Structure 1
Amino acid sequence: MKTLYPFAIILVVSFFTSSFNNLDKNDVITKKTSADIYKNASEKNEDVVDAEILNDFFRRYSDLKKYQNDVISLYKNRSYGTIWYKNGKITEFGNVLYKKLNSTDKETSKIEFPYKEEINQMFNETSKEKLSKTDSDMLLSAAYIMYANHAIEGKKTISYETLLDSLMTKPTLLEKNNAGVSNQYDKLQIALKKYKKIEQENNWKPITTETPYKDIRPDAKSITVAQIRNRLFVMGDLKNDSKSDVYDQELMDGVMKYKLRNGLKPNYIINEDHIKDLNTPIADKIKTLMINIERAKTVLPQLSKDKEYIMVNVPSFELVYVKNGKIELTSKVFVGSQLTKTTIFNGNIDKVVFSPYWTVPQSIVDNELKSKIAADKNYLADHNMEIVNGQVRQKPGADNSLGLVKFIFPNPDDIYMHDTPAKTLFDFEKRTFSHGCVNVNKAKELAIAMLQDYPEWTEDRINKAMDGTEETTFKLPNKVPIYITYFTSWVNESGEVSFFQDVYDRDSDSNNLISNPSEIASN
């Protein structure tokens, strides 16, 4: 199962501290000679920063020259309109950024901004010297690039444009020192560009198969094999396309890479479902990426605020436990069936219950158990069940349907996460077997990881609590946020794009998520 990496990039507080470097005489002369430029611009549109103004700005503010290309890109993507002003006033995000530039912190020495005094003038209402709106806007843009470049750790490249989009939508993300949410958003944007290029180059050729279909295995020879090879090359799973129609070792490696990144069972067999997936129209792949870009904008900002959390992604059938920006554990899960779908929501885990009882929901009793109990008088005893206060419940034990540990998070649908004795179900590619709860393959390991901060809960004590003899409940002093999400595409740290099954058909109902398809596609 391919691991999700949604949250490893953390925005660390870094502040600007250096003094203002005085301009020399040549700079002053340049400013005077540029007056006509700004006058003409104001007469046309005071909220326009054109190429001539930008070039003149960087001649005068030469210490910011190395940021010129990035700043120009910001304005180019916004049709050269001012970024930090709205209705003649500096925006909320502009004020948040200014607070960061003037904060005192142990990290301050990391950044030196050479024109801090001039930025101070912009926000000082009593200042007699005021910069032009265009100068002010470009100074803040350069400060933003400098801040983002130093403050975001762990990324070799930064998409300043998409990061700015996220922060302008929700400036408080900067206040909370966490803009890592833009990481997945950026990666999905890059993946979108890749797939749009494939579409434009018309490289997505259909894969044909024989009827009836027979699984394709290593050493097979057919035109289908050559077509599969080409598809894997186009998607990047193969570095070269040898055109060979023989299922050789090179193709085996490509098939394995394709399966791993898409959360499929890691073997070399290509079945009919795999061909169907490979034949998904490129336009559908593009739409999937666009839908998930919108999900990243709406879902991940909530998640990014938490230092510790669990994320369950239903389409990939996977759980990730993150603490202090580090992935502590990943696990396969299985989720609700089409008729009993797992709810997509976020909550807080407040209890861990070892060796739990399972109180059987009345719907299951009515629809499944009543007929079995009527047909077999020993059914309850054989399944370690009993009736208490008119309700059927299963006693603790290794065969309990909840396994040996469950994780409680209050919610209207009364679902929870839990262990399961049905471990073989984790071997399936499509894992929609439950009545709505999330069944966790590594439930014991998750409990151990979550209780590391509680010294009384040693591994030995957890093992004893999970022996199936007596129910034991531990109320967490610090609740752990849980996010049950629905991402049908994801990009990992290596840039590999994963596409997962739309198991609940939510993508087909999500076209309204794409607020401006042409804008997303062109970013």
Structure 2
Amino acid sequence: MKILYPLIAAILLFSVISCNKKAEKKGEELKETSEKVVPELKISIDSVGITAFYKRYPKVVKFQDQVLALYKKNNSTQLWLDNKGVVEFANTLFNKYKGLEQEGLKANFPYNENISSIFEHIPENKLAKADTDLMITNLYFYYVQKVSGVDEKTTKSLEWLLPRKKVNYQVFSDSIFKKSTISDDKKSKMFSQYYKLRDALQQYREIEKKGGWKTIEVGEGFKSLKKGDSVAAIGQIRERLFLTGDLKENSKSNVCDSTLISGIKNFESHHGLTPKNIILPEHIAELNIPVSDRIKTIIVNMERCRWIDPELEKGKEFIEVNIPEFKLYLIRNHEIVFVSPVVVGKAMTKTVVFSGMMNNIVFSPYWNIPPSIIKSEIKPGMAKNKNYLAQKNLEWNNGAVRQLPGKNNSLGLVKFLFPNSNNIYLHDTPAKSLFERENRAFSHGCVRVGKPRELAIELLKQDPSMTPEKIDRAMHAGKESWYTLKKKIPVYIGYFTAWVDRNGNLNFYKDVYKRDDSLIKLLTEE
């Protein structure tokens, strides 16, 4: 028995070692199996399948050409699916789509239920894998189109002729493979004003969520409120100004004091109104515009920002005119170096939204009268009065009519030319009183400058030969003379009814050409 125990122990030890070796071998076999590369998922998506997809889902057929080119580039295989399901980049895209409301846009993809089922799994996605991939691709192009703004044909129909930001679908297509564009929100990709308005949109939506602002009730026959007056409406005005930051504190007092007057002046200066020491009916009307309407105005102007090439504002020197604001700005090295009030075209002779390159300044200019004015005004005047031309300081010139240079010339003493098919330019005017008005839409289409002499001096600062004294002599010479700029200056004439200024203040302006309503309908239609 003593001999038997060591033998049994040896057998048991051998069995354990043998089992361990088998287990190790089995473990290694399992490890090898788990480390085997799973074949890459490949779903065939060719032109035949894509054409069939659009027969089933015709509401996105406008993207067919881009989609065909994209899958051809990817060897007719899927873009958004792998062995684990939908790739992370697709989820990022869907989240961006769901967040379109923050961009002032509606997330109304034509097949919203189908696309939602892919990512939310409620109800379970019933699309075939090929159709799932195609649906996500169409969502991608839908999103790109939305954030790029309405197409150029539409903007031209809306009389917007400024250089458009180009939508390069090839670049967007490439970004799908790089998986970089959707998640990258660098602000350099859009006109900078867009992001400022987007922040303002969130602020005003927060105000709306909290109930907006109440209507200020002043009663019939209201004429004005001044410092020292005490009525319930003053408390309402105070609360309204506090909501939008025009007043820093709300004392809730019903007495009109210097703090309230200061607040109303802030409000007026940010709403295209001349600041006054009294509160008038037009101020109450402006204060009572609902927050929902202000939100629409912000959304409309965010859309206009989508159309603008962000490269425009990177120029070293340019002039911009905002029609609803009735102001001209000269920007140099990204700083505002000059500001002037302007008069723009009236509703029947709108100033065109476009751009040009200023190349000449004309001192003591002739005014070559447009044929339309000759027909409607000059000829009827001549028929009634044989001395009409002389009395108006006009003369015939090669079959046309022009006004002689001088202080009474309709173009004033200087004009600034940037050749364009619209025959629009900047110029002086003898009608100086118009610049004192809040609404300054009175011209035949050209832009009248309130400070033309100062603008000429600022533009010619780089030329030491053109001193302010020499500019004055040229302006009053009574004889036309031309100065060619050594470097052309871009001029942009735009139309913005909401704008965040460089101090961070949100400004609203009257929709003088009634263009906002048609654009908001376009943006919110299903």
- State if a TM-score over 0.5 links the two structures: yes
Match of 2:433 in 1: 424
Amino acid at match of 2:425: Y
Residue 48 of structure 1 corresponds to: 88
**Superposition TM-score, scaled by structure 2 size:** 0.65
- Aligned partners of 2:197 and 2:96: how far apart in 1? 19
**Separation in 2, partners of 1:298, 1:288:** 16
Alignment equivalent of 1:365, drawn from 374, 378, 381? 374
Residue 404 in structure 1 maps to residue 427 in structure 2: no
- Mapped pair 1:186 → 2:195: yes
Q: Counterparts of 2:185 and 2:385 in 1: how far apart (Å)?
A: 62
- Give CA-to-partner distance per residue, 1:372-399, whole Å, 9 cap, x none: 4444444433332222233222111111
Structure-to-structure mapping, 1:147-226, within 5 angstroms: 162-163=185-186, 167=189, 182-226=191-235
In structure 2, the CA distance between the partners of 1:209 and 1:468, relative to structure 1 (3 Å rule), is farther
Between 1:382-391 and 1:478-487, the stretch displaced more is 382-391
How far apart are 1:466 and its partner, in Å?
A: 0.6
How far the C-alpha of 1:47 sits from its partner, in A, is 2.6
Aligned to 1:326: 335
Distance 2:525 2:303 in 1: 10
Aligned-partner residue type, residue 430 of structure 2:
P
Correspondence for 2:255: 246
Aligned-partner residue type, residue 263 of structure 1: G
Aligned match for 1:506, one of 488, 505, 515 = 515
> Which residue is 2:365 aligned to?
356
Query: Distance in 2 between the 1:358 and 1:162 partners?
Result: 50
Which of 288, 305, 318 does residue 279 from structure 1 map onto? Answer: 288
Q: Structure 1 residues 284 and 203 mapped into 2: Cα distance closer, same or farther (>3 Å)? A: closer
Separation (CA, whole Å) in 2 of partners of 1:447 and 1:436: 21
Kindly provide the CA deviation profile for residues 382-429 of structure 1, in whole angstroms up to 9, marking residues without a partner as x.
Answer: 332222233222111111111111011222221211011111111100
Assess, with a 3 A threshold, how the Cα gap between structure 1 residues 309 and 300 changes in structure 2: closer, same or farther. same
Match runs of 1:56-135 below 5 Å: none
204-213 or 191-200, which deviates more:
204-213
Structure 1 equivalent of residue 463 of structure 2: 454
Q: Distance in 2 between the 1:358 and 1:469 partners?
A: 13
**Shift in Å, 1:220:** 2.6
Which structure has the higher relative contact order (CA within 8 Å, separation 6+)?
Answer: 1
SS at match of 2:472: helix
Residue 76 of structure 1 and its aligned partner are, at CA, apart by 11
Deviation at 1:244, TM superposition (A): 2.0
Distance 1:161 1:331, change over 3 A: farther
What is the alpha-carbon distance in structure 1 between the residues aligned to residue 396 and residue 191 of structure 2?
A: 52
Q: Name the aligned partner's letter for residue 163 of structure 1.
A: K
| C-alpha displacement of 1:46 | 6.0
Q: Which residue of 2 aligns with 1:390?
A: 399
Residues 1:268 and 1:494: Cα distance change in structure 2 (over 3 Å): same
Question: In the alignment, does 2:490 pair up with 1:467?
Answer: no
Shift of residue 300, structure 1, vs aligned partner = 4.9
Flag structure 1 segments of 5+ consecutive residues without an equivalent.
1-34, 55-72, 81-85, 88-132, 145-159, 168-180, 518-523
Q: Distance in 1 between matches of 2:88 and 2:524?
A: 26
Q: 1:368 to 1:302 in 2, by over 3 A?
A: farther
Is the CA contact (8 Å cut-off) linking 1:337 and 1:434 kept in structure 2?
A: yes
Match for 1:388: what amino acid? N
Tell me the CA shift for residue 291 of structure 1: 0.9
Structure 1 match to 2:485: 476
Q: Give me the whole-angstrom Cα distance separating, in 1, the residues matched to 2:502 and 2:267.
A: 16
In 2, Cα distance between the equivalents of 1:75 and 1:415? 41
Aligned to 2:299, the other structure's residue is in SS state helix
Give the aligned partner of residue 264 of structure 1.
273
Instruction: Give the aligned partner of residue 319 of structure 2.
Output: 310
Deviations 1:203-260 (A, max 9, x none): 3111122212313333233222222211111111001222222221110010111111
Unaligned runs of 5+ in 2: 1-34, 41-80, 101-115, 120-135, 138-175
Percent pairwise identity:
43
Q: What TM-score do you get using the length of structure 1 for normalisation? A: 0.65
- Relative to structure 1, the CA distance from residue 513 to residue 474 in structure 2 (aligned partners, 3 Å threshold; closer, same or farther) is farther
Question: What per-residue deviation string (whole Å, max 9, x for no partner) do you get for residues 334-356 of structure 1?
Answer: 10011111011111112111110
Please tell me the root mean square deviation across aligned C-alpha atoms, in Å: 3.5
1:235 to 2:244 alignment: yes
Equivalent residues of 1:163, 1:182 under 8 A apart: no
SS of the residue aligned with 1:452? coil
Q: Flag the 1:193–1:467 CA change in 2: closer, same or farther, 3 A.
A: same
State the aligned residue count. Answer: 380
Distance 2:209 2:96 in 1: 26
Partner amino acid, structure 2, of 1:363: S
Distance 1:75 1:195, change over 3 A: closer
Residue 484 (structure 1) shift: 0.5
User: 1:453 is aligned with what amino acid?
Assistant: Q
Q: Residue 470 of structure 2: SS of its match in structure 1?
A: helix
Amino acid at match of 2:291: I
Structure-2 separation of matches of 1:210 and 1:312? 39
Look up the match of 2:494.
Answer: 485
For the Cα contact (< 8 Å) 1:351–1:474, is it kept in 2?
yes
Q: CA deviation at 1:465?
A: 0.9
One-letter identity of the residue aligned with 2:213 = W
SS of corresponding position for 1:295:
helix
Question: Would the alpha carbon gap of residues 74 and 287 (structure 1) be closer, same or farther in structure 2, given more than 3 Å must change?
Answer: closer
Distance 1:400 1:224 in 2: 49
Whole-angstrom CA distance in 2 between matches of 1:221 and 1:252: 13
Which letter does structure 2 place at the counterpart of 1:246? V
Question: Do the aligned residues in 1 keep the contact of 2:234 with 2:255 (CA within 8 Å)?
Answer: yes
How has the CA–CA distance of structure 1 residues 162 and 316 changed in structure 2, closer, same or farther, with 3 Å as cutoff?
farther
Equivalent residues of 1:336, 1:432 under 8 A apart: yes
2:376 match: secondary structure: helix
Residue in 1 that maps onto 2:347:
338
